Amino acid sequence: MVMDPSYTNGILGGVLIGAGSLMAMVATGKVPGISGVFGRILRPSSNETGWRFVFLAGLIAGAAVMFRTHELASVFRVPDGRSLIVYAIAGLIVGFGTRLGGGCTSGHGICGVGMGARDSMVATVVFMVAGMVTVYLFRTLVTG
Amino acid sequence: MKKNLLTFLAGALFGAGLAISGMTDPLKVTAFLDVFGVWDPTLIFVMGAALAVFSGGYFFLRKSFSLPCDSGDPVSKQLLLGAALFGIGWGLGGFCPGPAIANLGALRIESLVFVPAMAIGMVLVQRLYKLDA
């Protein structure tokens, strides 16, 4: 069976994401969810910001190397009807929601679920379903 | 120093993984969420592989960590509301926090708009709900 290259790249990427999460957890002793790492830098009483900056700098650097060296990684397509205003609203909601809900795709979806946390499993199902409903409504009501 | 180097490498692996798996492409993400349209299941392979590696490693390391896991309390309204809002924003832009930040390096205008807005949303909720953990 020959697998679609985007699936094999997905598996390879997933292995790297899982290994990076694990390595960050070993190095820092914290659950390295991206929204938590980013959000905690923004607190007024911010302590321990050092490793968080380093982790995010690594994330940007690692992705930048891939963008430049792999054609598939450099693909960037904006879905139909997503103006910059939509991106501004989406950013606001994602920031608000991830901190209120205690995590995003990485903190809940990978780390939390990977540690068997019930709350993370619930959160993951909720944000996936909410995302699916949103994409469906956007397609039928806005761009349809 | 060693901690910083490891943390940087960990971030680099994470960022490389996001890019190579296509998760930094917003259309690939909304196509995964578009289960009633032309569905692209790639994200399942990404999450499945990431989960296998992370949970496998955690199984061997779990005794040496005391990480927050479950409180044992019923699932909170905050968690449900927060996750639902996150999902709505995710479906709108095809960006979750990792890919949005990763795309800053490519100076994508969508990222340059999304990430500061996300920071404002986080500061707002952290003040409103006095989140300081």
pLDDT above 90 for B66: no
Interval B67-111: pLDDT, tens: 666 666 788 999 999 999 999 999 999 999 999 999 999 999 999
Query: Residue A102: enclosing H or E segment and its boundaries?
Result: none
Element (H, E) at A69: helix A50-69
3-state secondary structure of B73: coil
Residues of chain A numbered 82-141 and touching chain B (CB < 8 Å): 82, 84, 86-102, 104-106, 108-119, 122-124, 126-136, 138-139
Residue of B118, B131, B68 whose CA lies nearest to A25: B68
Tokens standing for A5?
């290259």
Asked whether the beta carbons of A73 and B19 are under 8 A apart, the reply is yes
Task: Evaluate whether ipTM surpasses 0.85.
Answer: yes
Supply the pLDDT for residue B133. 59
Q: Spell out the alpha helix ranges (H) of B1-133.
A: 2-20, 26-33, 42-61, 77-93, 97-102, 109-128
Q: Indicate the helix (H) or strand (E) that contains B130.
A: none
Residue A41: what pLDDT?
93
Q: What does residue A108 show for φ and ψ, rounded to 5 degrees?
A: -85, -55
Cross-chain Cβ contact B10/A24 below 8 Å = yes
Contact check, Cβ <8 Å, B62/A115? yes
- The closest CB to that of A98, out of B61, B86, B103, belongs to B86
| Chain A environment of B3 (Cβ under 8 Å) | 27-28, 51
Query: Long-range contacts made by residues A73-77, C-beta under 8 angstroms, separation at least 24?
Result: A73/B19, A73/B20, A73/B22, A73/B24, A74/B19, A74/B106, A75/B22, A75/B25, A75/B28, A76/B24, A76/B25, A76/B26, A76/B103, A76/B106, A76/B108, A77/B25, A77/B26, A77/B27, A77/B28
Check B97 against A104: CB less than 8 A apart. yes
| pLDDT (mean) for A113-134 | 96
Q: Summarize pLDDT for A90-110 with one digit per residue, the tens.
A: 999 999 999 999 999 999 999
More confident residue, B130 or A18: A18
Q: Which residue has the tokens 């960990």?
A: B10
Under the banding of pLDDT at 50, 70 and 90, the label for residue A2 is: low
Q: What percent of chain B has pLDDT over 70?
A: 93
Selection from B102, B86, B74 nearest residue A104 by Cα: B86
Work out whether the CA dihedral B52, A58, A91, B104 comes out positive or negative. negative
Contacts of A49 in chain B (CB under 8 A): none
Residues of A (14-53) whose Cβ lies below 8 Å from B:
14-32, 34-35, 38-39, 42-43, 45, 50-51
Share the mean pLDDT of chain B.
93
Q: What would the pLDDT profile of A17-64 be if each residue is shown by its tens digit?
A: 999 999 999 999 999 999 999 999 998 776 778 999 999 999 999 999
Query: DSSP letters along A45-65, please?
Result: T--S-HHHHHHHHHHHHHHHH
